[in-house]
Amino acid sequence: MRRRSRGLLVCVALAAWAAGLRADVPAAVQRPQLDALFGRAITEVRIEIEGRPDTDPALRALLEVRVGDLLRPETVRESMAHLFNLGRFDDVAVTAWPEGAGAVVLFALVPRHPIDRIEFRGTLGLDRRALERGVLEQVGGRASGARLDAAREAVTRLLTDEGYSRPVVTPSLEQTHEVHRSTLVLTIEAGSRQRIGRVSLIGTSALGPEAMTTGVGLVTGAPYRRRATEDALRRVAERLRALRYYEASASHFATGTGDEVDVTVTVDAGPLVDIVVTGDPLPPGGIDTWIPIRRENSADEDLLEDSAFRIRRALERDGYWRAEVEPRRVEQPDRGRMVVTFTIRRGLRYRLKDISISGESHFSAADVRALLGLNVGGPFQEDEVDARVGALVAAYVFAGFDASVDVVPEEVPAAPQATEGQVVVHLTIDEGPLRLVGDVVVIGADAIPEAAARRLIRSQPGQPLRDGQVREDRLAIQQAYLNRGFQSVVVDAHHDGLPRSTVRFTIREGAQTRVDHVLVVGNRRVATQTILDAVVLRPGQPLGQADRLESQQRLSEMAIFRRISITQAAEARHDGHVDVIVQVEEAPATTIGYGGGLELGRRLRSADGGGLEDRFEFAPRGFLELGRRNLFGGNRSVTVFSRLSLRPRDVPNDPAQDGRGFGVSEYRVTGSYREPRAWGSRTDVVLGATVERAIRTSFTFVRRAANAEALRRVNSYTSVFGRYALDSTRLINARISEEDQPLIDRLFPQIRLSTVSGGIVWDHRDDLLDPTAGGLLSADAELAARRIGSEVGFAKVFVQALGFRRITRINRVVLGGRVQIGVARGFARDVPIVDATGLPVRGPDGQPVTETVADLPAGRRFFTGGSTTVRGFQRDRLGVPAVLNADGLSNGGNGLIV
């Protein structure tokens, strides 16, 4: 239908061209003969949007009608198709008139005016926000998706649900043209609101009549709110089910069309249901888990049979091979009750005694047992046996056999008083003939050379013939063609099933589709060129599936779009070229994040009488993050993050004040600018500045820093980065005596560091936030040198590895492990000693006294213990004796192993 209407539009446009729609064109040339213009050289091409000239080069690039070319109908049609595919215009009209020996062509465009605002006027009856939510829920949360009829129906339904029986809703559109947008205006006359007249109750329940009427808001004279009443009665039914009236229901209906309605409430509590379990107990989990009558609001036969089946399967998995579960329900209408009885007979618990194997030839009996992996002596589970036999058959198929396995479990006679039984599983294997690949034939390969197609095939002569591998080979060939734009390719794979089979791959390539133009639709703030830079599809290149998926992934990684779709236009040119339409919906440019919490823990404080003592303390904290994306129309962003923590005050030398009262003890403010794919490369650039104050157990530091970082993704798993940082760190509130402090802390209580660093990250986790498989390996090295402005020099390397593996699928138990290794070394430097006035201290020979410093600065030393390293220890309280003093405070060290 769309193709047909577009063809009609082209015909109408060509007719308009012949008629001449411009008032400023002389009458003598208003109606030129159409044939007379064909073949003329085009002297000028104009574009007008709502009568205004437009010189947008992106629009002109879509036109096949170009100055200097000959005017042809097919180029006009293709130009109109490109403009329609852009999705920005409701109408495209083409007119032309002669100019000397040539022709002037005009494209008159009528732009679309998508809805970006919803406005309510008149007597609304309800809150504007409630009305807007109702309209947006109807259209998927986007104003741009609103339609006049749907919006009117949504508002009418909301008002009717709130008792306005005859609302009048009139939708209209108000357009703006400087920016082509529309406001959806809904003019409302809500009218009078219906009131409740007489309230009647049919039926009884254990809750009493008041709970069924006034308890749900049904009071004479109150507004009649249909939806709210339905919700309240639904809650009433839930309360009845909580009282074991598991089939309870409650509903209402209203009569009357004027300003007053009579409401009748119907309650059917149903029977009081008793669930009785006789015989043996249920599996762990309780009645609600295995017999969900309350949750399903039903006690019908189907639900009881399903419950019995699940109970029986659970018992069988626990080894009760002969378990029986019999459900039964007995209604007692005279007493208003129903008794649901589940009789459970577990029987003996069976164990797998042995596995009898016959018919094996290719695999030995020991190999078969290893492939089965059954636990002899463990609980017998028939389902597990069937699953492991399926794996054995798969192993035979992989080896080239068309095998089958017959499974017969045999119960071993047990003693009369035995509590457990035994089962022997008899396996009879029919291996079938060994099938090998005799030859591989590729038929129909043209666009892809036959040799290249053969390289995609893993089934090779002399290897076992595996049907699964042949299917994978067929899909690999098909995918290669799809990646080259052959969208209708068909690849068939056949073999004759003989002991040495010839595998034939027959290819019907079809036509190749190439990209004509890449059209971007839906962007408002993000520049079109920014989107096109992320799309790997290029005009003239094949429309390949892999390139389309890569483009989609790159756009998603930009994290500035809510929705992305890459489709192709419905119509293609005769030569197979087709427009590619990139439809985007931008996310909000401004983001706000905030949160708060409370930290509880123990901290060393100064004790009365000297020394230190542990105190239990709490610290409220919060953060605020502001972000702005799409800067300058590109995928650039700027973010400001702030964090604040209130802790008891730090006064290390005054036990009476230390830890008393609250103050701003920790804070962090970071601003960052990020430009992904800077300079058209795969490198992201980040510039940042930070001001922070943080507490460690033995000191507090205040730091100011600026950094520049470049991150490059090598592939989907591996990234490398480089960074330069300049920071100034000042130590305060030291809790370690001066004689116990490293020399560098005494000589450089405030230190400037200039560092360069780099590293690599390999991340193969299946989920970044909740991994169950895979792992992460990262390594980074940092270097500070006096030649680049650092007051001291050091080298530091840190390596971290994490691994995750799922142990069980049913309970989702995941084993996780982490290893951290760090090592650092300071570069020796002679530092002159100064007195309290800042003058150099001189020795007996009159020369300045110096000290050699080779320690790491406090902010670069390693600390362990706490939630980020080893949780079994308090923060910074884990270490070798060389870095811990008598009070357990740490100076930090030059190495780390976790």
Model pLDDT for residues 478-534, shown as the tens digit of each residue: 999 999 999 999 999 999 888 899 999 999 999 999 999 999 988 888 888 889 988
**pLDDT at site 24:** 41
Place of tokens 């949504």: 154
Residue type, 836: A
Measured distance CA(844)–CA(836) in Å, rounded: 19
Q: Which residues pair with 98 in a beta bridge?
A: 103
Do residues 190 and 123 lie in contact, with contact meaning Cβ atoms separated by under 8 Å? yes
Please calculate the CA angle 512-518-519 and round it to the nearest 5 degrees.
Answer: 135
Helices (H) and strands (E) in the chain, counts: 18, 36
pLDDT, mean of residues 348-363: 93
Per-residue pLDDT, 686: 96
Helix (H, G, I), strand (E, B) or coil at 286: coil
Dmax (CA) of the chain: 116
Return the number of other C-beta atoms located less than 10 Å from residue 433's C-beta. 12
Q: Closest Cα partner for 120 from 109, 107, 131, 111?
A: 131
Neighbours of 562 (CB within 10 A): 12
Q: Is residue 115 within 8 Å of 173, Cβ to Cβ?
A: yes
How far is Cα 121 from Cα 438, in angstroms, rounded to an integer? 79
Mean predicted lDDT score pLDDT of the chain? 88
User: Would you say residue 19 has pLDDT above 50?
Assistant: no
Q: Which two tokens stand for residue 874?
A: 């308090």
| pLDDT at residue 31, rounded to an integer | 36
**Predicted confidence (pLDDT) per residue in 771-828, tens digit:** 999 999 999 999 999 999 999 999 999 999 999 998 876 667 899 999 999 999 999 9
Question: In this predicted structure, what is the pLDDT of residue 23?
Answer: 36
Nearest to 445 by CA among 504, 503, 499: 504
Q: What is the pLDDT of residue 35?
A: 63
For every residue of 167-228, DSSP letters joined together read -EEEEEEEEETTTTEEEEEEEEE--PBPEEEEEEEES--TT-HHHHTGGGT--TTSB--HHH
- pLDDT of the residue at 11: 43
- Taking 90 as the threshold, does the pLDDT of residue 851 lie above it? no
pLDDT of residue 626: 96
Amino acid 811: pLDDT: 66
**Which pLDDT belongs to residue 810?**
62
149's enclosing H/E stretch is: helix 148-161
Average confidence (pLDDT) over 421-446? 93
Question: 651 or 16, which is more confident?
Answer: 651
Could you report the per-residue pLDDT of 66-102, keeping only the tens digit for each? Answer: 999 999 988 888 899 899 888 889 899 888 888 888 8
Distance, in Å, from the CA atom of 16 to the CA atom of 213, rounded to the nearest integer, reads 68
Length in residues, the chain: 898
- Cα separation, 315 vs 344, whole angstroms: 10
- The token duo for 323 is 């378990």
